[in-house]
Amino acid sequence: MSDTKPRFSFEISEEQSKRAFKIFSEYGQRKAIMGRLLDEVMDMVDEHGYMVFGFILDSGTEVRKIVPSLAKAERMMNK
């Protein structure tokens, strides 16, 4: 069994990095928060397909409304 742990990584800006270190000051916060968000998005895609990405990435979706947009997508897909 390997001692390495799976990672999910992507490039962020320098400003995002500085803000993340400031906001996620306690050990494990970043993993806890981002892990839950990742699980929710993956669950939605598993359940409803890749059109969920369309709801999230739609130009009409404001960044502050992404999580409520997931709930809206869930409601719409269940109709």
pLDDT by position in tens, the chain (length 79): 678 889 888 999 999 999 999 999 998 999 998 998 889 889 888 988 898 888 888 888 776 666 676 677 777 777 7
**Structure-token match 């995002």, residue found:** 16
Phi and psi at 46, nearest 5°, equal -60, -40
Residue 67 has what pLDDT?
66
CA distance 34 to 8: 10
Residue 53 has what pLDDT?
87
Residue 64 has what pLDDT?
65
C-beta of residue 61 within 8 angstroms of C-beta of residue 55: yes
C-beta of residue 44 within 8 angstroms of C-beta of residue 53: no
Q: Which amino acid is at 20?
A: A
